[in-house]
């Protein structure tokens, strides 16, 4: 496998172009999948308090042959823990569940703007970073106004914003804003509506031209656009295919053609961060 491309944030923090998503990877099977992925070559593992699998992820990290210092563990603070005291406890709880001295990247999962406490949650992450129990701080599903508010209040800019990005919802404006500010874009659900998306003629055609699968084509599209993708994969076969896709170079017209699949209603669900609440 070729060396994994990576992208850098405004402070020099780097993420590999492809990480391992772990949503619904739970229990012993989840731990085994994480360990297998790390041994194959993954160095970014993404989880969340609300996935209820931080324990399994931590067990997988310890079971792998990879030194802890080489692994970036990302997790997320849930909406119900935005208040300052709850946020501090939640950050510590995630660390204990994972069995790590510090989380490498800790995100606010959703801004939940109607609750209005994401500023407290952000300050709790910044404080944890200063204590050394969180190495890098970021957000997820934040809109420009949310990013502006937390940076203005704290003086600290997130290193990453994990948002919904896939060919049906390419989010070009968000990617441009993040690039301008040195904020890494991490794509959740990077394959979108996989069954439907992977049958799109343009994706099938590009895949055939490169001798790769449609799923690999979409991952290569993310890499070409400078976004970190975190597809979930439990089988070694799919994990390896996803890793291999990072080294595929698409032509600019191929990237544009896939981006052209974007739809006004491209979201997977009614997950507009301006109104969606997830506790």
Cα 67 from Cα 271, distance rounded (Å)? 37
Q: How many structural domains is the chain composed of?
A: 1
Cα 221 from Cα 198, distance rounded (Å)? 13
Query: Would you say residue 269 lies in a domain?
Result: no
Query: Would you say residue 200 lies in a domain?
Result: no
51 is catalytic: yes
Cα 52 from Cα 93, distance rounded (Å)? 12
Residue 239 has pLDDT above 70, yes or no: yes
Q: What b/e sequence results for 155-164 when a residue is b if at least 16 CB atoms lie within 10 Å of its CB, and e otherwise?
A: ebbbbbbbbb
What percent of the chain is predicted at pLDDT more than 70? Answer: 99
| Model confidence pLDDT, tens digit, residues 15-57 | 999 999 999 999 999 999 999 999 999 999 999 999 999 999 9
Query: Would you say residue 171 lies in a domain?
Result: yes
Q: How confident is the model at residue 193 (pLDDT cuts 50, 70, 90)?
A: confident
Query: Would you say residue 275 lies in a domain?
Result: no
What pLDDT is stored for residue 194 in this prediction?
85
Q: What is the 3-state secondary structure (H, E, C) of the chain?
A: CCCCCEEECCCCCEEECECEECCCCCHHHHHHHHHHHHHHCCCEEECCHHHCCHHHHHHHHHHCCCCHHHCEEEEEECHHHCCHHHHHHHHHHHHHHHCCCCEEEEEECCCCCCCCCHHHHHHHHHHHHHHCCEEEEEEECCCHHHHHHHHHHHCCCCCEEEEECECCECCHHHHHHHHHHCCEEEEECCCCCHHHHCCCHHHHHHHHHHCCCHHHHHHHHHHHCCCEECCECCCHHHHHHHHHHCCCCCCHHHHHHHHCCCCCCCCCCCCCCCCCCCC
Catalytic, out of 23, 42, 51, 118: 51
Cα 116 from Cα 202, distance rounded (Å)? 42
Residue 2 has pLDDT above 80, yes or no: no
Query: Would you say residue 30 lies in a domain?
Result: yes
What pLDDT is stored for residue 88 in this prediction?
98
CB 35 within 8 A of CB 236: no
The CATH number linked to 87 is 3.20.20.100
Query: Would you say residue 148 lies in a domain?
Result: yes
* Structure tokens given for 60: 């997988």
Taking residue 252's Cβ as centre, other Cβ atoms within 10 Å add up to 8
- Going from the C-alpha of 251 to that of each of 5, 122, 136, 236, the distances in angstroms are 17, 39, 33, 28
Query: Would you say residue 125 lies in a domain?
Result: yes
Q: How confident is the model at residue 84 (pLDDT cuts 50, 70, 90)?
A: very high
Tell me which residue range forms the domain holding 125. Answer: 13-192+227-235
Q: How confident is the model at residue 265 (pLDDT cuts 50, 70, 90)?
A: very high
Query: 52: alpha, beta or left, given left = phi > 0 and alpha = psi -120 to 50?
Result: left
Query: Would you say residue 251 lies in a domain?
Result: no
């Amino acid at each position: 496998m070729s060396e994994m491309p990576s992208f850098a944030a405004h402070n020099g923090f780097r993420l590999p172009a492809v990480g391992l998503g772990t949503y619904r990877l739970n229990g012993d099977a989840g731990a085994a999948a994480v360990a297998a992925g790390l041994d194959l070559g993954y160095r970014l593992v993404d989880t969340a308090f609300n996935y209820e699998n931080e324990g399994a992820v931590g067990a997988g990290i310890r079971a792998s042959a990879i030194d802890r210092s080489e692994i970036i563990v990302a997790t997320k603070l849930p909406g119900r823990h935005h208040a300052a005291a709850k946020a501090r406890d939640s950050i510590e709880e995630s660390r204990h569940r994972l069995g790590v001295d510090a989380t490498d990247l800790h995100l606010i999962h959703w801004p939940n703007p109607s609750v209005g406490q994401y500023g407290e949650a952000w300050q709790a992450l910044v404080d944890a970073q200063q204590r050394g129990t969180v190495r890098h701080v970021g957000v997820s599903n934040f809109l420009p106004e949310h990013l502006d508010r937390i940076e203005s209040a704290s003086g600290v800019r997130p290193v990453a914003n994990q948002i919904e990005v896939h060919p049906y919802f390419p989010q070009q404006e968000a990617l441009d804003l993040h690039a301008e500010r040195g904020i890494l874009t991490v794509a959740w659900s990077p394959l979108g509506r996989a069954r439907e998306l992977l049958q799109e003629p343009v994706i099938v055609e590009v895949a055939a031209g490169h001798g790769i699968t449609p799923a690999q084509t979409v991952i290569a599209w993310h890499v070409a656009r400078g976004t970190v993708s975190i597809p979930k994969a439990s089988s070694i076969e799919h994990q390896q295919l996803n890793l291999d896709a990072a080294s595929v170079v698409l032509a600019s017209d191929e990237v544009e053609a896939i981006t052209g699949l974007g739809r006004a209603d491209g979201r997977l669900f009614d997950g507009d961060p301006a109104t969606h609440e997830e506790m």
